[in-house]
């Protein structure tokens, strides 16, 4: 396994829809998933999508806040493959987001507070689950990458776009 190089805004892979994974359980898919998991740990992040590591595949890594040990090491990551997201709440919440592919930038982004996800797990088995609050936000953020979108595309007001330093200085402590 190896931590992977992150695609930054401007790279075409971030702006194109990702391809569905046809056969999840094959080694050609398992290796990138393992590498993505290592990359999430290396960068101490909660989420990652395959396009962010230069792979146009519909794979997401998501780690709930409550799934981190006291050392910050992820415990039980979700790996939805070919995810389909359906909002189950009528309202959205605007909260600060950042992204490995947009280093140093933060902005307020509206996201549904509750979603249902159907996907395949890394063994190719069908899964379905409900996610709320921060996990719902995280999965929506990562799934946007599968559509060729970044959080900037979802912002209601670009006046909240800020650098990490200025976010901490004038707005709030940046999110982890």
Report the alpha-carbon distance of residue 128 to residue 120 in Å, rounded.
8
Tell me the three state secondary structure of residue 57.
strand
* CA 58 – CA 70 distance, rounded (Å): 30
Q: Is 93 a catalytic residue?
A: no
Cα(11)–Cα(55) distance, integer angstroms: 12
CA-to-CA distance for 121 and 24, rounded, in angstroms?
Answer: 8
Q: Which of 19, 38, 116, 142 is catalytic?
A: 142
Torsion of CA 159, 160, 163, 165, to 10 degrees: 120
List CB contacts of 125: < 8 A, sequence separation 6 or more: none
Active site residues: 142
């Amino acid at each position: 396994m190896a931590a992977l190089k992150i695609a930054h805004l401007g790279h075409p892979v971030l702006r194109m829809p990702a391809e569905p994974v046809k056969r999840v359980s094959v080694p050609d898919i398992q290796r990138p998933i393992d590498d993505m998991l290592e990359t999430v740990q290396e960068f101490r992040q909660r989420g990652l999508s395959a396009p962010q590591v230069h792979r146009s595949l519909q794979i997401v890594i998501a780690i709930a806040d409550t799934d981190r040990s006291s050392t910050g090491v992820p415990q039980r990551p979700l790996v939805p493959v070919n995810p389909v997201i359906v909002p189950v709440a009528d309202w959205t919440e605007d909260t600060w987001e950042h992204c490995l592919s947009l280093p140093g930038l933060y902005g307020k982004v509206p996201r549904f507070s509750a979603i249902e996800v159907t996907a395949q797990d890394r063994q190719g088995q069908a899964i379905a689950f409900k996610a709320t609050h921060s996990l719902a936000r995280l999965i929506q953020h990562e799934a946007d990458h599968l559509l060729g979108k970044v959080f900037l595309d979802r912002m209601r007001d670009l006046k909240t776009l800020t650098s990490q330093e200025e976010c901490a200085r004038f707005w709030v402590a940046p999110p982890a």
